[in-house]
Amino acid sequence: MGLSMSESLIKEGASVIITGRDEEKLKVEAARIGAVPFHADVANDEDIKALFAFVIEQFGKLDGLINNAGIGGWAPIEEMDRDLMRSVFEVNVFGAAMMASEASKIFMKQNYGDIVNVASTASLKGYKNGSIYSATKFALRSMSQCWQAELRPYNVRVIQVNPSEVPTAFGQTDRQSRPIEEKKLTPQEIADVVIAALKMDRRGFIPEVSVFATNPF
């Protein structure tokens, strides 16, 4: 989804910086789509600070942040593990929060900006064995609403996008993308929604949008 959003933004004329933990893959994909790569892990605060310093050094401003980094973690209640919970929260919640915190400092000075939080329909309803992952997305949804209240006076829009199931590399230990399935969403549907929300005149914004496959069965 991150690459589809990046490609779509570049086609709209945006300059896009993409980040990732796999430096080799990051450079290859950035070259392929025409993005600027920056090797960073959202679970590392020093990486986050270095990223935003790079943004200002290269461009002198920041128009928007897309919080798309996310990992999975599932377990039945009787098998939940503190270390697994902590690792998923580090990326899905703390990482998103620290990225938004650094971006907001720039946005408040500029008096404009956009934050897109890519969450999940798991932020709307829990499900069997989903305590860990769903809890992180419920937390992200809560943070989105808090940031909307805090940042609207600075003309900063906070938009949450909730995809349902999209075949991607998400949850794959080898990080290889799953093949597209006929009745499920593709990353492009999510990219289209994000682009449409960002292109709205700045006098308005979409606080939250959920995207489901029309007939997934």
% of residues, the chain, pLDDT over 90: 90
State the DSSP string of 155-170: TEEEEEEEE----SST
The C-alpha atoms of residue 118 and residue 163 are separated, in whole angstroms, by 8
pLDDT of residue 217: 81
First-last CA distance in the chain? 22
pLDDT class of 216 with cuts at 50, 70, 90: confident
pLDDT tens per residue, range 14-41? 999 999 999 999 999 999 999 999 999 9
pLDDT band of residue 119 (cuts 50, 70, 90) is very high
Q: What is the DSSP string of 25-56?
A: HHHHHHHHHTPEEEE--TT-HHHHHHHHHHHH
Domains of the chain: residue spans and CATH: 62-211 (3.40.50.720)
Backbone dihedral angles phi then psi of residue 173, each to the nearest 5 degrees: -65, -30
Q: What is the pTM of this model?
A: 0.92
By DSSP bridging, strand 156-163 and strand 36-39 are unpaired
Q: Is the pLDDT of residue 161 over 70?
A: yes
Quote the pLDDT of residue 170: 64
Determine the pLDDT at residue 177.
61
Average pLDDT of the chain is: 95
pLDDT above 90: residue 107 = yes
Quick one: DSSP state of residue 5?
A: H
pLDDT value at 3 more than 80 = yes
Q: Work out the burial of residue 153: count CB atoms within 10 Å of its CB; fewer than 13 is exposed, 13-18 middle, 19 or more buried.
A: exposed
Mean pLDDT along residues 124-143: 98
Q: Which two tokens stand for residue 97?
A: 């929060």
pLDDT at 215 over 90: no
- pLDDT at residue number 159: 98
Candidates 169, 157, 172; CA nearest to 111 is 157
| pLDDT tens digits for range 167-210 | 866 654 655 666 778 889 999 999 999 999 999 999 999 999 99
Structure tokens at 156: 């900063």
- Kindly list the distances between the CA atom of residue 23 and the CA atoms of 19, 30, 75, 109, in Å, as whole numbers in the listed order: 9, 10, 30, 31
Mean pLDDT of 111-118: 98
